[in-house]
Structure 1
């Protein structure tokens, strides 16, 4: 595939990019433009990054492009979660583009003309040049092809635009690499650090312990005071930093799933449809008009349909009728029009002719016939493709590579798979007139041409209307009363969505919650949202239960959440006193365990870097204390995650001396450099003022 075709298919990735590879770091104009009130402009601001405004006029098209790429990559028509991914992808690209761009400028990082020349056509080509112009097997770049494409820019404005885009991305990636090298070269690991890391991962400890579990103290016997809460909060304040504002809400969903009456009605409709389908004169047209799911009227291989249908129809002869078959919440009806054995894949080249440039399809077909004759008389197909084709593949002599069924438009596919190697075929598609050369056909398997109808089991208007009326009635009632009490009185289940972020595309139990989330962010804590929200399978009424701002959360905001930890902290004090009493006069771990009514558990071969106690939990404090203790000595009480421990170290097994300090340091520096690059970008964000208004638009 040529550069133009490749860039056309991947334009979304290049426009959006990943963090650190954002294509465009654009400057937003003044907030107040001549003839426009400032408030009209501010309504278009998706966010502000270090003083630079991001307009919805520029942000929106990038989101659309990103969403289109996700649809192509993952399939489907797109959902709320996919939309949220696209929005976040573009936003992260904008943040990276602006902040990293300013950092490059501050540090004086640039790409010189000589460096750019080398990246485009020199001995050290950019990975993108290797990707577009390199041999897939050897990785070698075809520099002649690069130069030829560069020369064609003056004659082809579209190609010039794409080269400008590609060059911009190459420069961005080169700057990113320089910045990454700058960060990684600032990282150093000392010999002492290398030896410590080696010891932490290879020194083994064996010890015995006894534990008094927190669960042994009934919760009801522990009375928590405000001082208990504040002490725990102040000691662990950094744990309560909220990276972004969140909302929590409770909701009641009123199902619109099909009733028994709906199911019976759909079944009756499908049975009548099947009877008409049996006698239909035009199978493909009848299927296209009546099916909820459009399946191309062309030969397809086994494995493309619902397994319950696929396993049957490919064993039926031509002329067979199958269905209605209910599977996966829909009815399937299939007519087997034809079956045959066909290649699994085809390697082909083509010349695409644009009829609009020649005065119509007839003239385009005549040119294609003339070109076919020239090829049959020995003229190079590749040279004719470079001269006459309007497709990007012309840069590779029209080579389309190897493709399987379903990758090409129907007329093209039929010609490529139904011919034989060496054939020259002329076909017309929505893209123009093609002269196809079949280079090679691989494999052989059974394919079938099917007329396919699928009808989903859906709710009737009566069912949906009844659910909406119930939801609306509930909304009116909760506006005047307690949400949970009203739900309980009506026998309804209350769902909870906790800590929902502004751009989140999902919420527990809700399949399409974006509008609900947006409205929740425009409401206050305790507000019942004024709308009945329509999901794919329910109507929903919701109330905002909590608002957590960005930053360190207050004690009141986390009080309920930290209650179990605070209770364990109080229990730890109680149990520590108990363990300390048991330690009095004891010289062995067995004596302490006996006083506590506990058993001694032996543990072997624990490493500092992996503080997991088998059958217990990850006990960082306990294992850290073990490695700081002397063998044979009875420890003091240690409050851990599961309870309060007492232990005695049996001994340590030291590893052999570090044989290759340099290799250990190099490995640690690589890991540290990777972490440092992410940490540097996070530091840039932390020190910048970033206002995120995406929830107002998406």
Structure 2
């Protein structure tokens, strides 16, 4: 009892000590694994631009907004790891652009004054974004609607949410205006003079006629080239500026254990779909059956020849109604298919519509009733175009009398498509669907061909828990066998291929061989070089154990970090020296390019009408050094060896063909100025990013 009493009295202290020791151990482990980044990191900062922090909360709110916009614009497209990575990268670049431009705008003292702001909102020519929000029935800007809305915002009845949204909208307009002013300052400072115009004109129109001889790099086998440390150093020092790493990159090696469905798993899925096949054959409601039993929930629609997968296309177009096919294996799923209907149908339909928004009409029932009333008016002689203009919620088509244009199959939602393609010219039909309630009129049907409606039920192959557990156990056993430096040996012992994911960024979602590798990448960026993963990662149908192999910090990379990367270029450089020596020997005592080619064992190729602006050797590739040398040469002079892209060249200029004199350079100056102005915005942002001190911590959060 004394011991129990002691424990009860001291339990709080004991727990505190135990928890403290555990936390200290966790922190110590994190420090060892990530080089003290645990202490240096900021748990609320996604990044930093020139000392200005980007809060996680702000970035994540913008990221959510961008994600929702993408979903709306893509029609609910599923977000793959690649798409998520793209949205995140785009959002990050938006933040960078704003921070960098705001600093320059502040430095220059650019502002949007109160009078200017007022003019942007309610002046004679408001900002285009405002004009697009307040339009009349013809789609033209309506100042009365804008003034009515502004008056409402100033009244006591104004909704706070609307006020806040309007305030944010105006702030965004001002920000865009300031950025526009800054870019205008930049573009107004660009100038194309007459000499620039003359040079550009000659580069595009002056023709060179010359001969060349070449010794290809492929003429020397790679096995005959032995690279030395000096070869690497020479190439590295000459191209050092090309090895600047904007962001930290890491490479890791990994082994994977395939947890794909086994033969037993495949047989189980096939048995599962065979069990529902009899009911599938006899069901009277194919659409409902598909929705209940199929992994892919798709609406049944008529399809023309070539729209079905190849395995079904020829079968279903020659089958009788009610015919079933399968089970068959396709794209990782067992499937069964049934021919629901077949008919001869128009190839295209021209139609017009009046779209009613149920939310604006007080519900679907009221929208349907209104559509029925409009249908009766049209049947009684009221012009369809007039009603479309006055009542359609789709103002763009309403202003054109409801014109939908001419459409082929597959361009519309199934309900609307069925109504148009299964009716006849002149029919008026009411359709309720995802687009709202539509009153449609078929104006014209063209062509005719057979179409089929096929019900499809699919069951994807998936590994069973037994399969997954067995493969995971193998991966876990491999991980347990690692002791720090035996990764290669253990992989060889287990018969596992070591795969490489090279130069991975901290925000990468996929790497070579792994579709959704986000967790592996996050681990790699917390770990030291040479360490192996502390867990088995589940990536799709694979279990992965990894080891960090290379860390390339931001900044100019050392030779050791790029040695493997530059090896092919170093080999080309060494071959270039050998072939140049061969040409130099041939040039000794030779007065013509034909003599050089004969001594070097190559041939002479004549070329005509080559322009500086398009430095391509026909049948080869762009050869900037070669064509540049041509346009800097004198006629009938044999050049020194030129190390190009495909080999080492020697050239001899025959003549130039000069274009007609440029008498009016206004057009040339204008075209060149426009091209420079178009590039300037992106180049300005690139320059600002290059000079900025940017810290990117996204890999810690996403």
What band does the TM-score fall into relative to the shorter chain? 0.7 to 0.9
Residue 56 of structure 2: aligned partner? 56
Q: How does 1:7-18 map to 2 (within 5 A)?
A: none
User: What is the count of residue pairs matched by the alignment?
Assistant: 647
Offset at residue 383 of structure 1 (A): 14
Q: Does 1:644 align with 2:648?
A: yes
In structure 1, C-alpha distance between the alignment counterparts of 2:357 and 2:69, rounded to whole Å: 27
In the TM superposition, residue 382 of structure 1 has moved relative to its aligned partner by 14
The residue aligned with 2:682 is 678
SS of residue paired to 2:679: helix
Could you tell me how far 1:85 is from its partner in structure 2?
A: 0.9
1:202 is matched with 205
The residue aligned with 2:238 is 235
CA apart distance, 1:693: 0.5
Contact 2:356 2:367 in 1 (8 A): no
Which residue in the other structure is 1:540 paired with?
544
2:625 to 621, 626, 637: 621
1:540 to partner: Cα distance? 1.9
The alpha carbon displacement at 1:452 in A equals 4.6
Distance 1:121 1:336 in 2: 61
Distance 2:201 2:434 in 1: 65
Match among 452, 455, 459 for residue 455 of structure 1: 459
1:273-288 to structure 2, matched below 5 A, reads 273-279=276-282, 285-288=288-291
Check the 8 A contact 2:427/2:442 in 1, yes or no: no
How does 1:351-370 map onto structure 2 within 5 Å? 352=358
* Shift in CA distance, 66/371, structure 1 to aligned 2, threshold 3 Å: closer
Query: 2-side partners of 1:308 and 1:76: how far apart?
Result: 26
Cα distance in 2 for partners of 1:268, 1:677 equals 61
TM-superposition CA deviations, 1:606-662 (whole Å, max 9, x none) = 222222223344332222222211101222233333443322211111122124311
* Equivalent-residue separation in structure 2 for 1:425 and 1:211 (angstroms): 73
Matches of 2:415 and 2:605, distance apart in 1: 74
Change (3 A) 1:322 1:207: same
CA shift in 2, pair 1:117/1:270, >3 Å? same
Structure 2, unmatched stretches of 5+, are 1-37
**Distance in 1 between residues matched to 2:600 and 2:411, nearest whole Å:** 72
CA-based RMSD = 4.5
Are the structure 2 counterparts of residues 388 and 581 from structure 1 closer, same or farther at C-alpha, using a change threshold of 3 Å? closer
Q: Tell me which residue corresponds to 1:69.
A: 69
Q: Tell me the CA shift for residue 197 of structure 1.
A: 1.7
Describe the superposition over 1:545-583 as per-residue Cα deviations: whole angstroms up to 9, x where unpaired. Answer: 211111111122122322333344344444434333322
SS of the residue corresponding to residue 250 of structure 2 reads strand
C-alpha distance in 2 between matches for 1:52 and 1:392 = 45
Change (3 A) 1:295 1:564: closer
Question: What are the superposed Cα offsets for residues 245-284 of structure 1, whole Å, 9 maximum, x if unpaired?
Answer: 1111222222222333332222121111112333557655
Q: How far apart, CA to CA, are the structure 1 residues paired with 2:218 and 2:410?
A: 60
Q: Match for 2:354 among 336, 348, 360? A: 348
Contact map agreement 1:204 1:605 (CA 8 A) in 2:
yes
Tell me which of 684, 691, 696 is aligned to 2:695. Answer: 691
Residues 133 and 239 of structure 1: CA distance in aligned 2, closer, same or farther (over 3 Å) = same
Aligned to 1:105: 106
| TM-score (normalised: structure 1) | 0.78
Q: Is the 8 A contact 2:431 2:439 kept in 1?
A: no
Q: Secondary structure at the match of 1:77?
A: coil
**1:292: how far off?**
1.1
1:443, CA displacement in angstroms?
5.7
Task: Quote the Cα distance in structure 2 between the aligned partners of 1:223 and 1:416.
Answer: 72
Whole-angstrom distance in 2 between the partners of 1:612 and 1:382: 57
Unmatched 5+ stretches in structure 1 = 1-37
Provide the C-alpha distance between the structure 2 equivalents of 1:657 and 1:122, rounded to a whole number of angstroms: 50
In 2: Cα distance, 1:545 partner to 1:69 partner:
39
Aligned to 1:517: 521
- 2:551 is paired with a residue of what secondary structure? strand
CA displacement at 1:665 relative to structure 2: 1.2
Report the equivalent of 1:477. 481
Q: Are 1:85 and 2:86 counterparts?
A: yes
Of residues 297, 301, 304 in structure 2, which corresponds to 1:294?
Answer: 297
